[in-house]
Amino acid sequence: MYATDSYSHTRRTRPSRSTYLPPHLRNTNTHPTFSDPNSYASDSQTHRFPPSRGRGTPRGRGSGRGRGRGRSYAPRNRPAFHPNPDPNPFDVIEKFDDLEILSDSDEKSGINYEVYDDIPVEASGSDIPEPANSFNEIDLGKGLNDNIRRCKYVKPTPVQRYAIPVVMAGRDLMACAQTGSGKTAAFCFPIISGILKHHNVGSGSPVNHSGVASPIALILSPTRELSCQIHEEARKFSYETGIKVAVAYGGTPITHQLHKLEKGVDILVATPGRLLDMIERAKLSLKKIKYLALDEADRMLDMGFERQIRKVVEQMGMPPPGVRQTMLFSATFPNEIQRLATDFLSNYIFLTVGKVGSSTELIAQRVEYVQDMDKRDRLMNLLVEQSANENNGKRALTLIFVETKRGADSMESWLCRNGFLATAIHGDKAQMERERALRSFKTGVRPILVATDVAARGLDVPHVTHVINYDLPKDIDDYVHRIGRTGRAGKSGLATAFFCDKNSHLAKSLVQLMQEAKQQVPPWLTQYAETSSSYGGARAYRPGGSKFGGHDFRKATNMSGGNHYYSSGYTNQVAFGEPCIAPSGPFNSFYSGEPAYPVASVDSYAAGAYGYPYNHGSLVAGTWN
Ligand SMILES: Nc1ncnc2c1ncn2[C@@H]1O[C@H](COP(=O)(O)OP(=O)(O)OP(=O)(O)O)[C@@H](O)[C@H]1O
C-alpha cells in the first residue's frame, strides 16, 4: 500500500529484480513479442506487450514477415509507422496540405475556448495598447492572415489578444502566460507582420556581398528541440510570404546550417551557443536585428545562459534597446530574473495572462507519497492501469521526468524490459538520438518518453495526456513547466508526482500552486508544508504575494510609472477599456478584485479525446487511484 494521506508510511522492501515480474507480464506465454520497426539500440531486445496492447494485427515493416526471434506485432493503438522519417522531428514538408494542422470544425480547432473565458489579465507600463478580439481586428497582413486560417486558428488565445497589439505598436514586452497558451504565435505573428510591412522581403537577399547573413529577427530558445519546433511554427506562419526562416542549433554539423544562412534569412531561430559560433566565424551579423524574442526567457537569463545571452545581445553589434524591439516570454518569471531582464528592454509593458507562474487548471495534479525504493513498483502499477484504460485507436502519450541522465537511460531499459515501449531523451545523447527519441514519442511509436529537464520547457507534443514526475525537480518553476507538457491549448491533462522526504523543500510552493489551480491537496502534503521552513528554492518565494513570480517586479520597486489595466474576462471589454489606476500608486495591487477561475468544462473533452474517464477537479483519474 502506498501512503498518500498520512505521514505514516509502510516501508516496502524493494522487490528483487531477478524475481519481480510486473502484474501484466506474469503469464508471459500468452502474449506475443514485439520488435520495434525503428532501428533503436533496444530493438534487439524482445519486448512484451501488456495485454491491452499486444493483440494488434501485424503491421509496419515487420508485418507478416517477422523479425528477429519472434513475429512483429504492433499495438492496436499505434499509428502507422513512417519508414523514412525526416531527421528533424518537427520538420514539416513545405505544403500546407501535408502539414499536421488542426482539424476542420471550430470545436475541434485545438482550443477549447470556453476555458479561457474570464481569464484574468494584468498589464502594467505606460500607454498600453488595447487588446484585440479577433485576428481580423489586427492588421497582420494578408499573407499571415491566410496562414492563420490555414493553421485553423479561429480566435487569438488571451496571450495573443494582448501581446500582439503591444508588439505591433512598437513596444517592448515581458509576457508571462501559462504553458500551452499560445505564446509562440504571440511573438511570431507581430514579427512576421512587421517584417512584411516594414522591410523589403523578397526584393533582395539579407546576405551582404561578403556572404554574411543579417537577419531582421532573432528568436532565442534554450534547447535544440525547442528551437526546431519554433522554426517549424515560424515556417508555417510565414508560408508563401517570401520571408526566409532558418534555424541554428548545436549537436549537428554547422555546415548545413551555414549553407542555409547563405541563401538569406529574415528570421533566425537559434540556441545561444551555435549562434555565437556562427557570429565568431563571421557568417552572421546581428546589426540589422529589429526584433529580438527570448522564449523561456527566465531560463535564458538564469545562471545557465545569462553570460551567453549577454554576449549575444550586448557585445555582438545588435542594435540597443529602443532601436530594436525586445520580447520576453515565459510561463514563469521570478523577480530577480525580471530585474536582470530590464537591461535588455526599453519602456516595456509587463503582461500576465492567467494566474501566472502557476499551472493551468486544465491539468489535474495528483501528488503521491512514494519512497524512492517503491517508485518503480508504483510507476509500474500506474502504467499498467493506464494501459488498461486506454481507448483503442487513440494515442495517449506519457512523459516521465527523472532527475539524472543515467536515471533516464536506466528507466528506459527497465521499462522496455518490462514490455513498455519507452524511449529516453537527455543531454548526453547525440543529437540524432535525441531527435529520434522525440520523433518516436511524437508519432506514438514509443508512447512513453523518459526525460530529464531537457524536455521540460516549451515542447508542444499533442496527445501527451500524462506527465509523471518520478523525481520531482528542485524548483517549483521547473515543475510548472514540466507538467505544462500536458493540458495544452485548452485540452485537459493529468500530472502525477512522486513526493518523498527529500522533496520537503517543495511542499509549501507545491501546496500553493495546487491551491491556485483549484486542485485537491492531500492532507499529508499540507502537513509537510506547515512544518517546512523553505519555499521551493529561492526562486519560488515571493514575499507578500500569493503567486509564483508572475507580477511586474517594478510594482514592488516603483521603478516605472505609467498606467495599467486588468481585464476580468477574455470577452469582457469593459474592464479592459477603462484602464485601472490603482488608488494609491501606479503599481499597487489591484488583483484582489480578480474573478475566480472558471472551472473548465473538460471532462467530456478528455474522455472524448483520449478515452480517459477522469474527472477534472478531482485528483483521481477514473480507476487510476
Ligand atoms: N489561436 C490559436 N488557436 C488554436 N490553436 C492555437 C492557437 N494558438 C496556439 N495554438 C496551439 O496551441 C498549442 C500551444 O501553443 P504554444 O506551444 O505556443 O504554447 P506556449 O504558451 O508557448 O507553451 P509553453 O509555455 O509550454 O512553451 C500549439 O499546438 C499551438 O499550435
Q: Is the pLDDT of residue 267 over 80?
A: yes
Q: How many CB atoms lie within 10 A of CB 473?
A: 22
What pLDDT is stored for residue 215 in this prediction? 96
Which grid cell is 236?
Answer: 508555417
What pLDDT is stored for residue 304 in this prediction? 84
What pLDDT is stored for residue 429 in this prediction? 96
Over residues 32-54, mean pLDDT = 31
Question: What is the position in ligand 1's atom list of the atom closest to the CA of 296?
Answer: 27
- Report H helices in 214-316: 224-237, 254-262, 272-280, 297-300, 306-315
pLDDT band at 605 (very low <50, low <70, confident <90, very high): very low
* Residue nearest (by alpha carbon) to ligand 1 atom 20: 180
Is the shortest distance between the CB of 439 and ligand 1 below 6 Å?
no
Give per-residue pLDDT as tens, 561-596: 444 444 433 322 222 222 222 222 222 222 222 222
DSSP labels for 538-563?
TTT--TT-SSSS-S-HHHHHT-----
pLDDT-wise least confident of 17-31, 110-124, 418-432, 465-479: 17-31
Over residues 54-68, mean pLDDT = 33
Q: Is the pLDDT of residue 138 over 80?
A: yes
Region of residue 575 (left: phi > 0; alpha: psi -120 to 50; beta: else): alpha
Give per-residue pLDDT as tens, 484-537: 999 998 888 999 999 999 999 999 999 999 998 889 999 999 999 988 765 554
In angstroms, what is the span from residue 148 Cα to ligand 1's centroid?
Answer: 13
Q: Do the Cβ atoms of 130 and 576 come closer than 8 Å?
A: yes
In angstroms, what is the span from residue 516 Cα to ligand 1's centroid?
Answer: 22
pLDDT band at 70 (very low <50, low <70, confident <90, very high): very low
Q: Is the pLDDT of residue 13 over 50?
A: no
With a threshold of 0.90, tell me whether the complex ipTM lies above it. Answer: yes
Q: Is the pLDDT of residue 362 over 60?
A: yes
Is the shortest distance between the CB of 374 and ligand 1 below 6 Å?
no
Is the shortest distance between the CB of 484 and ligand 1 below 6 Å?
yes
* Residue nearest (by alpha carbon) to ligand 1 atom 10: 182
What pLDDT is stored for residue 440 in this prediction? 96
Q: Is the pLDDT of residue 106 over 80?
A: no
Question: What is the position in ligand 1's atom list of the atom closest to the CA of 462?
Answer: 29
Task: For ligand 1, pick from 188, 460, 464, 483 the residue to mutate: most ligand atoms within 8 Å of CB.
Answer: 460
Residues 6+ apart with CB under 8 A from 112: 489, 490, 491, 600, 601, 602, 605
DSSP labels for 60-109?
STTTTT-BTTB-----TTPPPP-SS--SSTT---S-GGGS----SSSTTS
Over residues 300-306, mean pLDDT = 90
* Residue nearest (by alpha carbon) to ligand 1 atom 1: 156
Q: Is the pLDDT of residue 341 over 60?
A: yes
The pTM of this model reads 0.74
Rounded-to-integer distance, Cα 191 and Cα 293, Å: 9
Q: How many CB atoms lie within 10 A of CB 287?
A: 11
pLDDT band at 119 (very low <50, low <70, confident <90, very high): confident
What pLDDT is stored for residue 26 in this prediction? 42
The residue among 585 and 379 whose pLDDT is bigger is: 379
Within the chain, how many helices (H) and strands (E) appear? 18, 17
